């Protein structure tokens, strides 16, 4: 079933928001200085340049030229006429919407943001792009003009199909091969996260910025079919986006793969439209336009902009400003660090990846050598890269080397690059933000979640800095989400200990049932009940102690009528002194002796 697109409150409600006066805001970051002479690199987007006008100049694109104050309008028009160039708006959203987005982001963060209305494109003959940039940079109203950044997929050589396409086979269950979901240090402990209320990504919207989706793939159609936003994507080998989404959203249907956060919703926002050149900033803005605070944008594009490449796309000022505005409005952004083996702390980038110079709020994701904790040789690295995931041997949808057939039934066990790493980290983030919504009724701030993933993750091994691999068990416990675990089991005729943990002095119930529901029951305001309410038994209740813990002991077996069968515990805790009403905890399977 197609998922309806949601309109962000940032756009539908905040049109009238007035941000605090600029004197109250932290200073906005500065674009690089104008060069003495523009040089166009071979890897940049041919025939396109980007221009940013000075703040409060009010320049707009009207009828393929620039409208501005009288004197400046004439100078701008003269440049376009001299080089037979034409102006093009960068974003599909109206000026009013972009203004409201900036105002709400400034109000939320207290940080001055760049006006996205002041970014635009100019189309010109490829051999004249440098001249147009220099002519525009000579004008005081222009803050900076530069050759446009190009984007591509951050994937290492795709796997080769093992059988001819079109053969068609029945699809087995490939989830046992998704080792990146296993407990740390091998994986991110997704299975543990999935046992919590919200821990499957419920009500989180993941928006993928790139291209190359088979939206009607058998393992993704229920979430992705026809869920395109913004531009209509160009024809493309339909693999890359499919593989990315398979890691996060593959459906729980007993075959193929199962996504890390399969209850999340998904949408697709291409940067490569059917007509016209690439537009990466608009791809991000189109995703943000339908995202609510707490939702997640994935930037699965690596970029080329005349410096050591490929590199993260936020090197480009227009892309950076768009990402920064999204995170300022509470939308999480996860982006591939790129596959160039580049040190992002190099002076060649002019401090673009130094958060003391500027910080977009996004998470940049590096890649390990498969399940190893060592940095992959191809992965970009540096202090700005805070999280990592598997960069080789990832099992997911698409490509056809694991299972061939028509494109809708293809699977791979060899997806690689920062392409495969980024959705692993994003899936962990989706679990945590959904759990936080369920437990506390609020969204995790993007910077808070970025820091949580970095500080609770598994440390990397050798190689340049690529951050930590998410460890959901450690992150969940750091946030003191309600949790239960079996702490002792001496077998038949012995004792069973179940420990409830959470915030000190909160009250709790320990529930037991012989049945796990096929679909969790959402109980407001407590969250998701995984065990059958018709057969549930309250085994214990009380209060957590000052350390946030309580242990209950039971004689075994619990009941002789179901000896040898798997039964389930789940906890519920009522918060006594913190935000929120309370939350249903995780469920724990238990085999009755």
Q: By C-alpha distance, which of 187, 148, 533 is closest to 368?
A: 187
pLDDT category of residue 15 using cuts at 50, 70 and 90: very low
pLDDT at res. 546 = 94
Half-sphere exposure in the Cβ direction for 31 (13 Å, CA): 26
pLDDT category of residue 21 using cuts at 50, 70 and 90: very low
Helices (H), 394-522: 418-440, 446-456, 472-478
Q: What are phi and psi of 242, to 5 degrees?
A: -65, -45
The vertex-113 CA angle with 109 and 115, nearest 5°, equals: 145
Q: Is the model more confident about 100 or about 592?
A: 100
The separation between CA 256 and the C-alpha centre of its own chain, rounded to angstroms, equals: 23
pLDDT at res. 585 = 95
Query: Do you find a cis peptide bond into 525, omega within 30 degrees of 0?
Result: yes
Whole-angstrom Cα distance, residue 294 to residue 466?
Answer: 24
Residue 147: which residues within 8 A CB-CB, separation 6 or more? 38, 40, 41, 44, 45, 48, 49, 50, 129, 130, 133, 305, 306
Give percent of the chain with pLDDT exceeding 90: 84
DSSP string, 63-80: TTEEE-SHHHHHHHHHHH
Inter-CA distances, 39 with 152, 280, 305, 348, 519, Å: 21, 21, 11, 15, 58
pLDDT category of residue 164 using cuts at 50, 70 and 90: low
**pLDDT average, residue stretch 333-342:** 98
Cα end-to-end distance, the chain, whole Å = 42
Whole-angstrom Cα distance, residue 518 to residue 527?
Answer: 16
Check: CB of residue 173 under 8 Å from CB of residue 256.
Answer: yes
**pLDDT average, residue stretch 288-302:** 98
Does residue 412 have a pLDDT over 50? yes
pLDDT at res. 578 = 60
pLDDT category of residue 148 using cuts at 50, 70 and 90: very high
> Per the structure block, which two tokens stand in for 19?
């941000």
Question: Is 274 strand, coil or helix?
Answer: coil
Does residue 23 have a pLDDT over 60? no
Q: Which domains does the chain have, with CATH numbers?
A: 18-23+36-148 (no CATH), 175-478 (3.40.50.200), 483-591 (2.20.130.20)
Whole-angstrom Cα distance, residue 269 to residue 60?
Answer: 24
Helices 446-456 & 418-440, crossing angle to 10 degrees? 110
The answer to which of 17-26, 94-103, 194-203, 323-332 has the lowest mean pLDDT is 17-26
pLDDT at res. 133 = 98
Q: What are 66-109's pLDDT values in tens digits?
A: 998 767 888 999 999 999 999 999 999 999 999 999 999 999 99
pLDDT at res. 577 = 63
Q: What are phi and psi of 308, to 5 degrees?
A: -50, 125
Report the mean per-residue pLDDT for the chain: 92
- pTM of the prediction? 0.94
Q: Which residues pair with 521 in a beta bridge?
A: 529
The answer to which of 227-236, 256-265, 288-297, 299-308 has the lowest mean pLDDT is 227-236
Residue 507: which residues within 8 A CB-CB, separation 6 or more? 541, 542, 543, 544, 573, 574, 576
pLDDT at res. 283 = 98
pLDDT at res. 458 = 98
Check: CB of residue 411 under 8 Å from CB of residue 175.
Answer: no
The separation between CA 489 and the C-alpha centre of its own chain, rounded to angstroms, equals: 39
pLDDT at res. 559 = 65
> Per the structure block, which two tokens stand in for 348?
């060649």
Check: CB of residue 503 under 8 Å from CB of residue 575.
Answer: yes
Residue 96: which residues within 8 A CB-CB, separation 6 or more? 15
Question: Is 427 strand, coil or helix?
Answer: helix
pLDDT at res. 318 = 98
> Tokens 């130094």 label which residue?
354
Whole-angstrom Cα distance, residue 413 to residue 175?
Answer: 11
pLDDT at res. 383 = 98
Q: Are strands 385-390 and 394-397 parallel, antiparallel or unpaired?
A: unpaired
Helices (H), 457-492: 472-478
Query: Do you find a cis peptide bond into 185, omega within 30 degrees of 0?
Result: yes
**pLDDT average, residue stretch 250-256:** 96
The answer to which of 67-71, 302-306, 399-403, 405-409 has the lowest mean pLDDT is 67-71
Does residue 7 have a pLDDT over 50? no
Q: How many C-beta neighbours within 10 Å does residue 350 have?
A: 13
Q: Are strands 228-229 and 265-270 parallel, antiparallel or unpaired?
A: parallel
Whole-angstrom Cα distance, residue 388 to residue 458?
Answer: 9
Does residue 168 have a pLDDT over 60? no
Check: CB of residue 555 under 8 Å from CB of residue 563.
Answer: no
Question: Is 543 strand, coil or helix?
Answer: strand
> Per the structure block, which two tokens stand in for 468?
């930590």
The length of the chain is 593
Does residue 17 have a pLDDT over 60? no
Residue 156: which residues within 8 A CB-CB, separation 6 or more? 339, 378, 391, 392, 416, 417, 419
The separation between CA 350 and the C-alpha centre of its own chain, rounded to angstroms, equals: 26
The answer to which of 4-18, 298-312, 492-506 has the lowest mean pLDDT is 4-18
Torsion of CA 64, 65, 67, 73, to 10 degrees: -170
Check: CB of residue 238 under 8 Å from CB of residue 214.
Answer: yes
pLDDT at res. 169 = 63
pLDDT category of residue 593 using cuts at 50, 70 and 90: confident
Q: What are 514-571's pLDDT values in tens digits?
A: 999 999 999 988 999 999 999 999 999 999 999 999 999 998 766 667 778 899 999 9
Inter-CA distances, 398 with 107, 246, 261, 428, Å: 42, 8, 18, 22
């Amino acid at each position: 079933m197609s998922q309806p697109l949601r309109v962000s409150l940032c756009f539908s409600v905040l049109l009238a928001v007035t941000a605090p006066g600029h004197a109250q805001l932290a200073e906005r970051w500065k674009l690089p200085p104008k060069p003495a002479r523009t040089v166009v690199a071979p890897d940049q987007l041919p025939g396109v340049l980007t221009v940013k006008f000075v703040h409060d100049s009010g320049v707009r694109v009207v009828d393929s030229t620039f409208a501005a104050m009288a004197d400046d309008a004439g100078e701008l028009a003269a440049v376009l006429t001299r080089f037979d160039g034409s102006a093009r708006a960068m974003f599909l959203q109206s000026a009013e919407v972009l203004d409201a987005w900036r105002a709400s982001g400034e109000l939320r963060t207290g940080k001055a943001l760049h006006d996205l209305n002041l970014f635009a494109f100019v189309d010109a003959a490829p051999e004249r792009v440098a001249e147009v940039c220099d002519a525009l940079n000579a004008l005081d109203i222009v803050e900076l003009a530069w050759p446009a950044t190009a984007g591509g997929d951050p994937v290492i050589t795709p796997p080769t199909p093992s059988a001819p396409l079109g053969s068609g086979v029945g699809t087995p269950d490939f989830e046992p091969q998704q080792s990146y979901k296993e407990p740390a240090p091998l994986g991110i402990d997704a299975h543990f996260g999935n046992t919590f209320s919200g821990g499957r990504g419920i009500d989180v919207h993941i928006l993928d910025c790139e291209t190359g989706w088979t939206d009607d793939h058998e393992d993704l159609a229920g979430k992705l079919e026809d869920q395109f936003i913004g531009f209509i994507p160009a024809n493309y080998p339909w693999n890359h986006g499919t593989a990315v989404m398979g890691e996060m959203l593959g459906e729980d249907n007993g075959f193929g793969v199962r996504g890390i956060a399969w209850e999340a919703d998904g949408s697709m926002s291409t940067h490569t439209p059917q007509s016209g050149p690439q537009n990466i900033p608009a791809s991000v803005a189109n995703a943000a336009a339908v995202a609510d605070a707490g939702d997640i944008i994935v930037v699965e594009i690596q970029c080329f902009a005349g410096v050591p490449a490929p590199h993260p796309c936020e090197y480009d000022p227009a892309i950076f400003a768009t990402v920064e505005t999204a995170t300022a409005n509470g939308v999480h952004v996860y982006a591939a660090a790129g596959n160039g083996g580049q040190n992002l702390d190099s002076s060649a980038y002019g401090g673009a990846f130094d958060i003391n110079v500027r910080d977009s709020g996004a998470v940049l994701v590096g890649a390990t050598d498969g399940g190893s904790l060592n940095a992959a040789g191809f992965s970009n690295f540096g202090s700005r890269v805070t999280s990592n995931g598997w960069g080789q041997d990832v099992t997911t949808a698409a490509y056809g080397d694991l299972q061939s057939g028509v494109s809708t039934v293809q699977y791979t066990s060899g997806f690689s690059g920062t392409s495969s790493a980024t959705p692993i980290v994003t899936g962990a983030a989706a679990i945590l933000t959904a759990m936080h919504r369920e437990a506390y009724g609020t969204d995790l701030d993007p910077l808070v979640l970025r820091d949580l993933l970095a500080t609770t993750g598994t440390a990397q091994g050798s190689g340049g800095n690529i951050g930590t691999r998410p460890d959901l068990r450690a992150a969940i416990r750091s946030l003191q989400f309600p949790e239960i675990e079996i702490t002792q089991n001496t077998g038949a005729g012995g004792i069973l200990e179940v420990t409830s943990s959470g915030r000190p002095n909160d009250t709790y119930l320990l529930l037991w049932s012989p049945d796990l529901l096929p679909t969790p029951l959402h109980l407001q305001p407590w969250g998701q009940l995984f065990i059958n309410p018709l057969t549930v038994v309250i085994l214990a209740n009380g209060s957590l102690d000052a350390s946030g813990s309580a242990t209950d002991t039971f004689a075994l077996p619990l009941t002789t009528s179901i000896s040898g069968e798997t039964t389930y515990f789940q906890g519920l805790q009522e918060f006594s002194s913190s935000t929120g009403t309370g939350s249903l905890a995780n469920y724990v399977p238990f085999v009755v002796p």
